[in-house]
Amino acid sequence: MISPPSLMDDVDAVQAQISRNMLTKGDWVTARLDGIPYLEKAPLIYWLIAISFRIFGPYDWAARIPVVLSALALAWLTTAFGSWAFGKRAGLYAGLSIATCFGLFLFTRILIPDVMVTADMTLSMWAFLRAIDERERRPRLWAWLFAASLGTSLLLKSLIGVVFPLAAAVVYLAVTRQLFEAKVWKRLRPFSGALIVIAIAAPWHVLATLRNPPYFDLSFRSVPGEYHGFLWFFFMNEQVLRFLNLRYPRDYNTVPRVYFWLFHLIWLFPWSVYFPAIAKLSFRPRDRAGCARLLALCWAGFILVFFTFSTTQEYYSMPCYPALALLTGSAMAAGGDWIRRGTRVLCGILLAAAVAAGTLWFMVRNLPAPGDISAALRLHPGAYTLSLGHIEDLTLQSFAYLRTPLLVAAVALLIGAIGTMRATGDKAFLAAAAMAVLFFQAARLALVVFDPYMSSRPLAEALRQAPPGKLIVDHHYYTFSSIFFYTNRDALLLNGRINNLVYGSYAPGAPDIFIDDQQWKKLWDSDERCYLVASNSAAPRLERLVGRDGLNVVAESGGKLVLTNQPMALSRRQ
């Protein structure tokens, strides 16, 4: 999980570079990219990565440590919650389900805080249920832990981190007719809990507001060129207007509603084959197990319904994974006909997938694979506003570069199919888990193959070895964000005043890092050495501006270029 591959362009390297900027500049309040205030996100993930950098150094593998630890904590919390609610066997199955589901693997390949929020919400839901349990000996401790997790969630995911657990808790109390019972609220200790939330979350919000005025603005206008300070942007633009799909910049997309629901069969695979068995469970809150199942249902249900009416990415619903894992683990421990049928379905799926992977490997086994995989991909830029949009770039030729991952995946799927063919119960579950672990290794090998395409690290290494010069990046910061991390340099952005950096670029004192084609041409024609990082597709436009002879290639990788305005050989002689 830690390394390889390299940090990817886009949000992966962005998060790491913000964290390093905080560490090196000493400003732990206002996140910055290339000197521009970046006010979109809550800061806790940056702080955790910065602490990791302080301990281990500013390496890509060090940036991933907080995400890795959060994934391990999530698996442990799900196991502990399930063991407390349903017994050790069901808890083990719940933990196994969350630890080896496809969604958790996919969405922890990038540095996003969602797995941290998911672990925190699992803790908050467990703490909530224990706080209101009349048999619990230390309800005050669990009530305060519930509040502390809410405060932490505010620093991880802002209002969403609080809305989800509170809404799930309120729905549960309403369904169980405890919403207006004084003894329940006494056990939850809302006043002291609110003080804990404020003590944890308020200091950063107050400091960020004071350092990025104006302080108050309730405008619903979200347009380029207007700056309303931190508080408006962070809450109004990023929370309210995003939910209403009125946010500017419109640098995101949304998964169609039907696909959003159906994709959970993939995200929770291979354990989603046991979802039908959940319907056989008891959800009556007569005992601890029934209460936990009902809470898990309210928990998952609210999140899924919420995102049905909001803009959503594939990974936004990750906080419901532990709830589904708890229900699945409970069903797996109970056994029955639906579990046996699910195992047969899983066997059929794995066998068909193994045949498909093996057939694909056979078809491409002798195809040439020159250069890197970018040469065989068909680009679909319109799909990249979704987190898995690059999947559409795959072609048959591209699988020639993925022969080893394909073979490992085929073996993993075949092992799972054979293991679930005759086995039932524990043996079948272990076979499915072993399949998932080996399949994840195949996926990691595939990511290494994609490294030159998804990351600009080879270009950054070439820049580090090149003579000094002014660095310019074509288009948006996110497009080549790993250049900034692996060189640890700021740069001018050519036609890059778009998307995430637009708002902060209008903040008082923001550096003037944006240039247009004519300004770039003037710099390129000067005596100062300049470097430009651009995609191969930008070459015709650049040639029209300065001519082909004015573009000297320093390095090329993954469909991207580093160009300079002076011959490299001349520079070496000097």
DSSP 468: P
Tell me what pLDDT residue 32 has.
96
Tell me what pLDDT residue 130 has.
97
pTM, 2 dp: 0.93
For the ranges 51-60, 191-200, 300-309, the lowest mean pLDDT is seen at 300-309
- Does 145 score more than 90 pLDDT? yes
Residue 241 burial (10 A CB sphere; 0-12, 13-18, 19+): middle
- Does 416 score more than 80 pLDDT? yes
For the ranges 199-208, 327-336, 444-453, 565-574, the lowest mean pLDDT is seen at 565-574
Sign of CA dihedral 100, 103, 108, 114: negative
List, as own/partner pairs, every contact residues 231-238 make where C-beta atoms lie below 8 angstroms and the sequence separation is at least 24, other chains included: 233/39, 233/40, 233/503, 234/39, 234/40, 234/158, 234/208, 235/158, 235/159, 237/503, 238/40, 238/41, 238/158
Q: Which string of DSSP letters, residue by residue, matches 256-306?
A: -HHHHHHTHHHHTTTGGGGHHHHTTS---TTSHHHHHHHHHHHHHHHHHHH
Tell me what pLDDT residue 389 has.
62
Tell me what pLDDT residue 487 has.
97
Strand-by-strand arrangement of the 530-535 sheet: 514-515, 492-494, 470-474, 530-535, 560-564, 552-557
Phi/psi of residue 287, nearest 5 degrees: -140, 180
